[in-house]
């Protein structure tokens, strides 16, 4: 067993860490390629989320958590030292090493290897239900569903190149949906801003779609009303008990963190945070009636999805000032500072957390202690029923995750 100094980074230390104890945690990175689903593909992260996974594992050690690692004495600057692959073998090894909490920092789907462990007692997961992710990461399905419960969304149209030429479908959609240029083109199962482009004509739209068709994105794409107003990001937390600077906060249902305003669009699209740091283009949005109203919409989305971990809803104003949801992120980025060279790598949810007094490390600890049972994550869809909108979930006492600092990391 090896030990890391959980108090070595000063300002990233969680003051309440010693109150969180008991369950060893392992962080999973992406090693399994998401499948093609109905002709649409979510591209794998080029680094398998290893960098953000290592950030999470390292930060949890600073919270005094009992973090399991695949190697002895993990080096702060080596991503691979900190996390396990999300393969059947990788998850099995993490559990054999003693993990009772799995942080699934990866792309999930219904037949993900996590499903193999769905009947295991005493195992908890930071992540969303597998079948919910598979169904609602389809942006066309998701937008239609949340629109049906009253959440404002932009006008959209589906283009499936398997059913006919892209140009013909774009022309038809522009006419029937009354879309006016510029419009957004995006993959149905995209990741971040990959493949997203603002186009000014039918020709540009069809050319861009044709350039994306293939194994990376599949053959389904969306045309979307372009919104030119203020862009915002709203993180919604799941029900649970949260420790804050003001004491324990018991939340019987989903609840929003303060909204973050985003600026600095490139070609009408927000750039990838790995290229442009969040601090340079994002800041707290403040508080007003519009934001509070959309916060309520965001909570309705999380309730509808039965979210068991944080989700982030990206939204933007239209010309009339109506805030509309443009993307639902089932696994919001949790990259953050702490390791060498990572000082600028804050994420939008963590930036939002600072508004209620949480550091990056404190946010992660709060998420970890509210992990869901693996049965809720992986049980068969036929046995799962979405919770009715507005129905309060039960709030149990927080499950202990973190050990005392002297037992912060270990490898088996």
> What CATH number did the domain enclosing 197 receive?
3.30.1490.20
* 387 within some domain: no
Query: What was the pLDDT predicted at 276?
Result: 76
Residue 121 contacts residue 64 (beta carbons within 8 Å): no
* 408 within some domain: no
Residues 80 and 215 in one domain: no
Residues 219 and 240 in one domain: no
H runs (alpha helix) in 39-151: 50-62, 88-96, 130-136, 139-148
Residues 102 and 167 in one domain: no
Residues 81 and 198 in one domain: no
Other Cβ atoms less than 10 A from the Cβ of 383: the count is: 7
List the domain range (segments joined by +) for residue 93: 18-137+229-378
- Please say which residue of 210, 225, 240 terminates a domain: 225
Query: What was the pLDDT predicted at 1?
Result: 28
Residues 90 and 212 in one domain: no
Q: CATH number of the domain at 24, please.
A: 3.30.470.20
Q: Tally the domains of the chain.
A: 2
* 43 within some domain: yes
* 406 within some domain: no
Query: What was the pLDDT predicted at 264?
Result: 83
Residue segments in the chain with a per-residue pLDDT below the cut of 70: 1-22, 273-275, 380-412
Q: How far apart are the first and last CA of the chain?
A: 7
Residues 217 and 234 in one domain: no
* 142 within some domain: no
Residues 235 and 219 in one domain: no
* 248 within some domain: yes
Query: What was the pLDDT predicted at 412?
Result: 55
Other Cβ atoms less than 10 A from the Cβ of 87: the count is: 15
- Please say which residue of 225, 246, 268 terminates a domain: 225
Residues 296 and 267 in one domain: yes
- Please say which residue of 225, 245, 267 terminates a domain: 225
Reduce the DSSP state of residue 382 to 3 states and report it: helix
* 212 within some domain: yes
Query: What was the pLDDT predicted at 274?
Result: 65
- Length of the chain counted residue by residue: 412
* 9 within some domain: no
Q: How far apart are CA 261 and CA 314, in angstroms?
A: 10
Query: What was the pLDDT predicted at 411?
Result: 63
Residues 203 and 235 in one domain: no
| Relative orientation angle of helices 202-212 and 166-176, to the nearest 10 degrees | 130
Q: How far apart are CA 169 and CA 173, in angstroms?
A: 6
pLDDT digits 0-9 by tens, 176-186: 999 999 999 99
Residues 273 and 373 in one domain: yes
Token digits of residue 248: 């324990």
Reduce the DSSP state of residue 206 to 3 states and report it: helix
Query: What was the pLDDT predicted at 22?
Result: 64
Residues 314 and 346 in one domain: yes
Residues 169 and 291 in one domain: no
């Amino acid at each position: 067993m090896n030990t890391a100094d959980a108090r070595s980074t000063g300002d990233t230390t969680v003051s309440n860490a010693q109150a969180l104890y008991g369950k060893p945690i392992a962080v999973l990175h992406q090693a399994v390629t998401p499948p093609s689903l109905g002709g649409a593909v979510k591209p794998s992260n080029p680094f398998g989320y290893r960098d953000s996974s290592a950030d999470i594992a390292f930060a949890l050690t600073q919270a005094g958590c009992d973090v399991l690692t695949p190697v002895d004495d993990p080096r702060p600057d080596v991503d691979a030292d900190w996390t396990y692959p999300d393969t059947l073998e990788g998850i099995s090894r993490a559990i054999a090493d003693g993990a009772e909490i799995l942080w699934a920092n990866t792309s999930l789907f219904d037949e993900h290897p996590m499903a193999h462990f769905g009947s295991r007692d005493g195992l908890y997961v930071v992540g969303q239900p597998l079948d919910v992710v598979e169904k609602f990461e389809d942006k066309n399905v998701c937008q239609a569903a949340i629109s049906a419960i009253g959440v404002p969304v932009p006008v959209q149209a589906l283009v499936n190149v398997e059913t006919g030429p892209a140009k013909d479908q774009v022309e038809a959609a522009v006419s029937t949906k009354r879309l006016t240029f510029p419009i957004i083109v995006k993959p149905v199962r995209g990741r971040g801003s990959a493949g997203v482009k603002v186009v000014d004509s039918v020709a540009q739209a069809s050319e861009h779609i044709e350039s994306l068709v293939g194994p990376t994105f599949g053959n389904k794409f969306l045309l979307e009303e372009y919104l030119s107003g203020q862009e915002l990001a709203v993180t919604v937390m799941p029900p649970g008990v949260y420790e804050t600077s003001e004491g324990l906060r018991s939340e019987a249902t989903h609840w929003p963190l303060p909204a973050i305003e985003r600026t600095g669009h490139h070609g009408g699209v927000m750039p990838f945070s790995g290229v442009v740091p969040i601090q340079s283009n994002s800041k707290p949005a403040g508080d007003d009636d519009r934001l509070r109203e959309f916060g309520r919409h965001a909570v309705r989305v999380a309730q509808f999805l039965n979210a068991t971990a944080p989700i982030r809803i990206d939204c933007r104003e239209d010309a009339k000032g109506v805030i509309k949801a443009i993307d639902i992120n089932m696994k919001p980025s949790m990259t953050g500072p702490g390791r060498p060279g990572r000082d600028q790598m804050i994420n939008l949810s963590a930036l939002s957390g600072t508004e209620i007094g949480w550091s990056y490390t404190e946010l992660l600890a709060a998420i970890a202690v509210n992990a869901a049972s693996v049965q809720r994550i992986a049980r068969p869809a036929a046995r799962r029923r979405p919770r009715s909108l507005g129905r309060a979930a039960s709030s149990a006492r927080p499950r202990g995750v973190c050990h005392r600092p002297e037992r912060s990391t270990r490898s088996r």
